[in-house]
Structure 1
Amino acid sequence: MTLLETLTHRHTTKAYDKTRKIPADIFAQLLEALRYSPSSVNSQPWHFFVADNDEGKARIAKATSGPFAFNAPRVMDASHVIVLSSRTTMPAEYLQTITDQEQIDGRYADDATKESITKGRNIFVGLHQKEGDLTAWTQKQTYIAQGFLLLSAALLGVDATPMEGFDGAILDQELGLKEKGLTSAVIVSLGYHSDADFNAKLPKSRLPEKALFTHL
């Protein structure tokens, strides 16, 4: 399919065929889509929790109780489920791991370049720490990763459901996120839709171009 065909074909899956699993080689590519997602100053302020079995999915599904119960089957029946979490802190040691990895990957032509890039990243993170909006900023970066995951899934013929309908406090406690300096941002279920997925049969509906774009 062309890119436009992929964009118009993909949809938020409402029901999964729990008998179908994503092949390992396909899922490995989806994890790479997350790993290679861009982020401001290459901060990579996220961590991804992956469940591909009933036990793991049940832990995530605990957060879909009460008013979010409608999402429980979309967690339990999917092939794989990923919790995208964002960092609540960006300590110096974490930033150093990024610098070290960039060094390993050959991102620095010389020590002056390394110092300049590292200093710039530390200043930018420090600005958000000073303004008190670090968590909001890291969550924005995590949503970029979600976009890469959803588009990659569609390109690979995998259905997906992004979910904010869950109790973040329950999920954070279940996964011990606070102790890790993380908080849950969004859940994405992945797999293949079933015949009960009414959304797969509906046409796309979006506002027209003239309502969305202003050409300057």
Structure 2
Amino acid sequence: MDIISVALKRHSTKAFDASKKLTPEQAEQIKTLLQYSPSSTNSQPWHFIVASTEEGKARVAKSAADNYVFNERKMLDASHVVVFCAKTAMDDAWLKLVVDQEDADGRFATPEAKAANDKGRKFFADMHRKDLHDDAEWMAKQVYLNVGNFLLGVAALGLDAVPIEGFDAAILDEEFGLKEKGYTSLVV
């Protein structure tokens, strides 16, 4: 695959054909793209909502009311709609989940390697949480890394996509109870 050709061909789709649906294999591929995106220190401060049913897409499209009505059809007509969400707090419990999953995945040759990795990740998390006080922005940047990876990845699969920031995040967050789960929506 020539990645430059994919990047040159990729574009932001302005309208979707509602009659075209992803195959089950394509749907699984986009979920894999979401899961395996890079993030700083492998922090993975994200959550995704993938809506493919008419009901699910309608719930997402509620956020395109009023000032963002021009994006409603895109959300309703696309085969699948992905809501990219960021954590609202980078807490120690999350960091422990990440390092424990890395350990379960066999990423560390020794317990010392695991401890060093955990220490390094906590260093950067604490820098953003306690020194710079910009952890929300830092986590949003990680989600945007995922968005970029996703857009290039779906283009490589021959699929069209468009990143949408024109939506009411408060409506979307409320619709899916995201704040209560420790997340906020950033991009559709």
Equivalent residue pairs, number: 187
Partner of 1:26: 26
Partner of 1:111: 111
Partner Cα separation in structure 1 for residue 9 and residue 150 of structure 2: 16
Partner of 2:94: 94
The letter of the residue matching 1:114 is K
The letter of the residue matching 1:71 is N
What is the Cα deviation at residue 5 of structure 1?
2.5
What is the Cα deviation at residue 109 of structure 1?
1.1
The letter of the residue matching 1:5 is S
Partner of 1:201: none
Partner Cα separation in structure 2 for residue 65 and residue 119 of structure 1: 44
The letter of the residue matching 2:30 is L
- RMSD, matched Cα: 1.0
SS at match of 2:47: strand
SS at match of 1:146: helix
Partner of 1:47: 47
Identity of aligned residues (%): 47
TM-score, reference length from structure 1: 0.84
SS at match of 1:162: coil
The letter of the residue matching 1:24 is P
Partner Cα separation in structure 2 for residue 12 and residue 87 of structure 1: 26
SS at match of 2:109: coil
Structure index of larger Rg: 1
1:124 is aligned to 2:124: yes
Partner of 1:193: none
Partner Cα separation in structure 2 for residue 5 and residue 107 of structure 1: 33
Query: For 1:51-200, what aligned pairs fall within 5 Å after superposition?
Result: 51-130=51-130, 131-187=132-188
- Deviant stretches of 4+, over 6 Å: none
Measured against aligned partners, the alpha-carbon deviations of 1:159-205 in whole angstroms (never above 9, x if no partner) come to 00110000111111111111111111100xxxxxxxxxxxxxxxxxx
Mind listing any 5+ residue stretches in structure 1 that lack a counterpart? 188-216
What is the Cα deviation at residue 2 of structure 1?
3.2
Partner Cα separation in structure 1 for residue 7 and residue 113 of structure 2: 39
What is the Cα deviation at residue 92 of structure 1?
1.5
Partner of 2:6: 6
Mind listing any 5+ residue stretches in structure 2 that lack a counterpart? none
The letter of the residue matching 2:136 is T
What is the Cα deviation at residue 111 of structure 1?
1.2
SS at match of 1:161: coil
